[in-house]
């Protein structure tokens, strides 16, 4: 692509580095910004720079945070004895958006995947074991993806947590089954089989 301006070329190349944005989309975004007021573009540019410079990770749960302790861990209305273990901060947002969960989180920063060279030492596992040792935690919910790596991580974590001396912590996983609105006949066999094995009393279903 030929640009008559080096300024535009640089901006397009920077946009095109992002996932899912090619040169043509990058150009469209840059031309859109060109039409905006300079002050508005300045605001956009500053929001991005500030976000990356000032963002911190919560000392307790490793979630993104504006402070040393994130707003979830700092909240008095949260149940601190209930810890939900997730892979990344996007999962925290997904669960928060359901507005149904009242406990706190622990962000692993990934899952155990030998094929990608990710072992337990690269993840925030040590700090989870410490939390269970030092704080009063009654239940740890494993909210990891139902893949081989996810199951491996759940197995590894459960062995680690069950080895913590003192009161044994209750370990649970989120329910697997047919999604709401999902068609039974299109569900894979494993999900269908598990959803029959782990069938629920009608009262639970009606509650939703």
Minimal distance, residue 206 CB to a second copy, in Å? 27
Strands (DSSP E) contained in the chain are 56-57, 64-65, 79-86, 103-107, 139-142, 170-173
Does 70 participate in binding a second copy (rule CB under 8 A)? yes
CB 114 within 8 A of CB 145: no
Longest dimension (CA), the chain: 70
Taking contact as CB under 8 A, which single stretch among the options 52-60, 112-120, 170-178, 198-206 is the one that binds a second copy? 52-60
Quick one: which of 32, 59, 126, 176 contacts a second copy (CB under 8 A)? 32
Does 208 participate in binding a second copy (rule CB under 8 A)? no
Name 54's Cβ contacts closer than 8 Å, sequence gap at least 6: 66
Quick one: which of 60, 82, 83, 89 contacts a second copy (CB under 8 A)? 89
Strands (DSSP E) contained in 27-180 are 56-57, 64-65, 79-86, 103-107, 139-142, 170-173
Does 116 participate in binding a second copy (rule CB under 8 A)? no
CA–CA distance, 87 with 168 (Å, rounded to integer):
23
Taking contact as CB under 8 A, which single stretch among the options 58-66, 145-153, 184-192, 194-202 is the one that binds a second copy? 58-66
In the complex with a second copy, which residue's Cβ is closer, 33 or 171? 33
CB 123 within 8 A of CB 109: yes
Minimal distance, residue 167 CB to a second copy, in Å? 29
Does 10 participate in binding a second copy (rule CB under 8 A)? yes
Quick one: which of 77, 99, 134, 207 contacts a second copy (CB under 8 A)? 99
Does 25 participate in binding a second copy (rule CB under 8 A)? yes
Minimal distance, residue 100 CB to a second copy, in Å? 12
User: In sequence order, what are the beta bridge partners of 56?
Assistant: 65
User: In sequence order, what are the beta bridge partners of 153?
Assistant: none
Minimal distance, residue 173 CB to a second copy, in Å? 23
């Amino acid at each position: 692509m030929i640009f008559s301006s080096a300024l535009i070329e640089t901006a397009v190349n920077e946009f095109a580095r992002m996932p899912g944005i090619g040169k043509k989309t990058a150009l469209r975004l840059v031309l859109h910004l060109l039409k905006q007021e300079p002050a508005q573009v300045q605001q956009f540019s500053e929001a991005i720079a500030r976000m990356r410079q000032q963002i911190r990770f919560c000392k307790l749960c490793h979630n993104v945070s504006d402070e040393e302790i994130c707003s979830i861990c700092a909240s008095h209305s949260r149940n601190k004895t209930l810890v939900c273990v997730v892979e990344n901060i996007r999962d925290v947002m997904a669960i928060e958006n359901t507005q149904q969960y009242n406990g706190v989180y622990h962000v692993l920063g990934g899952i155990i995947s030998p094929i990608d060279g990710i072992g337990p030492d690269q993840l925030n596992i040590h700090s989870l074991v410490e939390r269970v040792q030092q704080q009063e935690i009654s239940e740890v919910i494993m909210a990891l993806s139902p893949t081989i790596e996810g199951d491996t991580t759940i197995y590894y974590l459960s062995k680690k947590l069950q080895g913590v001396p003192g009161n044994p912590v209750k370990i649970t996983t989120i329910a697997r089954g047919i999604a709401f609105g999902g068609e039974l006949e299109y569900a894979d066999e494993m999900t269908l089989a598990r959803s029959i094995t782990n069938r629920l009393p009608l009262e639970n279903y009606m509650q939703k």
